[in-house]
């Protein structure tokens, strides 16, 4: 069974290459409207979450910021992530977008800022299309400046494959610290995870439930039953046990709380079964 990052998993925290600790479990807010994001973030933080993920594209940064404020949890206790629009591919626009995100979130800094995708979304499926290598380098330069200026505690990317990472790393001064990718049981990008491990890039899994697609899999329910948990908890624990950071989306207080019920260890046999889906 392949293992990743086990040497730096301490108290469910991943240590980034610059020494910043990133909580391994977070709350995702993709497809969550602004008002609902405020409520879910407030509840999650009051319940004990300390990692919140948002993005410019989600159009809920203001709600996330209000939820953080209403929770009463100190800003320094929360790991807050946002992302530059995938369609933003120039230095000046990135600089403006950074300041807009900070204002919307009501904070002076972010714990992590990511490039949301290496190409605009409507071009992501074209493997032979234009690669935006120089444009991503220009966006990254703006992130590097923000990092140096204290606007970010860490910087990274999302949806970058190995070639995208190599291209950026050839052009950057500060290497990416995180790559946030779609990963779930049966669909783990093993080669990318190994590349990230070798280059000290923390791998973060979004949609660890396959956007709900895994909830009806009977074989998953049978495995989850062994541990006295539901399929969501099994799927979240699976990617975390691989050493990835997990940011499952949840809106209802019940689901937000249930997703923290991770006090179990999946056996090697079951890890192999999940990998083989």
- Please report, for the domain that includes residue 256, its CATH number: 3.20.20.100
- With 70 as the cut, is the pLDDT of residue 93 above it? yes
104 found inside a domain:
yes
61 found inside a domain:
yes
Closest CA to 270 of 227, 228, 236, 212: 227
* pLDDT-based confidence at residue 275 (cuts at 50, 70, 90): very high
Number of structural domains in the chain? 1
pLDDT at 105 (0 to 100): 98
25 found inside a domain:
yes
* pLDDT-based confidence at residue 2 (cuts at 50, 70, 90): very low
20-40 confidence digits (pLDDT tens) = 999 999 999 999 999 999 999
160 found inside a domain:
yes
Mean pLDDT across the stretch 190-210? Answer: 97
- With 80 as the cut, is the pLDDT of residue 6 above it? no
Supply the range of the domain harboring residue 146: 6-275
* pLDDT-based confidence at residue 10 (cuts at 50, 70, 90): very low
80 found inside a domain:
yes
Q: Give the DSSP letter string of 35-96.
A: HHHHHHHHHHHHHT--EEE--GGGT-HHHHHHHHHHH---GGG-EEEEEE-TT--SHHHHHH
Considering the candidates 58, 132, 147, 238, report the single residue annotated as catalytic: 58
1 found inside a domain:
no
14 found inside a domain:
yes
User: Which residue shows structure tokens 């050839």?
Assistant: 170
Q: Kindly report the average pLDDT of the chain as a whole number.
A: 94
pTM of the shown model: 0.94
Mean pLDDT across the stretch 254-266? Answer: 94
In order of 44, 90, 155, 177, 276, the CA distances from 84 in angstroms are 24, 11, 11, 16, 34
Cβ proximity of 136 and 117 under 8 Å: no
pLDDT at 8 (0 to 100): 30
170-180 confidence digits (pLDDT tens) = 999 999 999 99
204 found inside a domain:
yes
Query: Is residue 238 annotated as part of the catalytic site, yes or no?
Result: no
């Amino acid at each position: 069974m392949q293992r990743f990052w086990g040497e730096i998993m301490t108290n469910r925290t991943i240590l980034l290459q610059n020494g910043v600790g990133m909580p391994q479990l977070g709350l995702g807010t993709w497809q969550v409207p602004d008002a609902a994001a405020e409520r879910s973030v407030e509840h999650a933080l009051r319940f004990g979450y300390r990692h919140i993920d948002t993005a410019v594209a989600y159009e809920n940064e203001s709600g996330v910021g209000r939820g953080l404020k209403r929770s009463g949890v100190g800003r320094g206790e929360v790991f807050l992530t946002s992302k530059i629009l995938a369609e933003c591919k120039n230095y000046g626009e990135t600089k403006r977008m950074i300041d807009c995100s900070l204002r919307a979130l009501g904070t002076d800094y972010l714990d992590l800022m990511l490039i949301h995708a290496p190409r605009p979304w409507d071009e992501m499926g074209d493997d032979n299309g234009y690669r935006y290598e120089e444009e991503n380098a220009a966006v990254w330069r703006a992130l590097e400046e923000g990092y140096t200026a204290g606007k970010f505690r860490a910087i990274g990317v999302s949806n970058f494959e190995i070639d995208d990472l190599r291209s950026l790393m050839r052009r950057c001064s500060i290497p990416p610290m995180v790559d946030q990718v779609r990963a779930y049981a049966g669909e783990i990008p093993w080669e990318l995870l190994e590349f990230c491990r070798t280059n000290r890039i923390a791998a973060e899994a979004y949609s660890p439930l396959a956007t709900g697609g895994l909830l009806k899999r009977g074989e998953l329910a049978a495995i989850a039953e062994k541990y006295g948990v539901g399929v969501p908890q099994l799927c979240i624990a699976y990617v975390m046990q691989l050493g990835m950071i997990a940011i499952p989306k949840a809106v209802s207080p019940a689901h937000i709380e249930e997703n923290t019920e991770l006090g179990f260890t999946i056996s090697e046999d079951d890890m192999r079964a999940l990998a083989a889906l």
